[in-house]
């Protein structure tokens, strides 16, 4: 994953530090101003670029484009689905039969059963991590949180699970790994009915 902006390097450094640092490279498209943005058709005549997401496969083919308002937030689930298609990862939706995906490992946790062991791998700045924390708290799930920017050993484990990427949030639930905030899969593993 790369972030590209028409801003200068010092501006990008300040932005990154304001977010609490980020785990992917930021590239400056400052000089010649907006050359990359122009090549992708997202440079405005005023000299700044549209907010856009391009998913490019390993062969260099553009597989997905999302151009949205500066204040808009793209739907992460759509992006995860598009990435899963490229990586040939099974996609779980609310209509998918979770039982078959998990090799009949569905578990229901109740007051009679022991609580699941949950570890959340995340960063401080990731919007999906904030949603994951809220989800676990709302469902009264106790969890251990590991910040992969501070624990680089954990980041290395994460890359092993996520095809070399530092994808957050990632969950480890009783030894089973869920890369990304895949709500239906998490519900099945945690015995949550929504």
Residues in Cβ contact with 159 at an 8 Å cutoff, skipping those fewer than 6 apart: 165, 166
The CA distances from residue 43 to 12, 16, 34, 65, in Å, are: 18, 22, 6, 15
Domains for the chain: give ranges and CATH numbers: 3-74 (3.40.30.10), 98-190 (3.40.30.10)
| Confidence class for position 143, pLDDT limits 50, 70, 90 | very high
pLDDT for 132 equals 92
pTM over cut 0.85: no
The pLDDT tens digits of the residues spanning 104-114 come to 333 343 333 56
Comparing 67 with 105, the larger pLDDT belongs to 67
The pLDDT tens digits of the residues spanning 74-103 come to 777 788 888 877 776 544 433 333 322 333
173 — alpha (psi -120 to 50), left (phi > 0) or beta? Answer: beta
CA distance 131 to 136: 9
């Amino acid at each position: 994953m790369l972030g590209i902006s028409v801003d200068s390097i010092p501006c990008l450094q300040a932005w990154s530090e304001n977010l609490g640092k980020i785990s992917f490279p930021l590239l400056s498209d400052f000089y010649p101003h907006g050359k990359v943005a122009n090549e992708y058709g997202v440079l405005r005549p005023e000299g700044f670029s549209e907010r856009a997401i391009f998913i490019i496969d390993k062969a260099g083919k553009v597989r997905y484009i999302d151009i949205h308002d500066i204040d808009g937030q793209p739907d992460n689930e759509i992006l995860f689905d598009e990435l899963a298609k490229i990586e040939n990862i099974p996609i779980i939706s609310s209509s998918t039969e979770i039982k078959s995906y998990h090799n009949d490992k569905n578990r229901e946790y109740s007051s009679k059963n022991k609580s699941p062991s949950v570890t959340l791998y995340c960063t401080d700045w990731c919007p999906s991590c904030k949603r994951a924390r809220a989800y676990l708290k709302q469902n009264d799930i106790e969890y251990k949180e590991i910040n992969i920017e501070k624990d680089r050993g954990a980041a290395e484990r994460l890359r092993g699970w996520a095809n070399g990427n530092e994808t957050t949030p990632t969950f480890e639930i009783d030894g089973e790994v869920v890369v990304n905030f895949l709500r239906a899969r998490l519900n099945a593993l945690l015995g949550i009915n929504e």
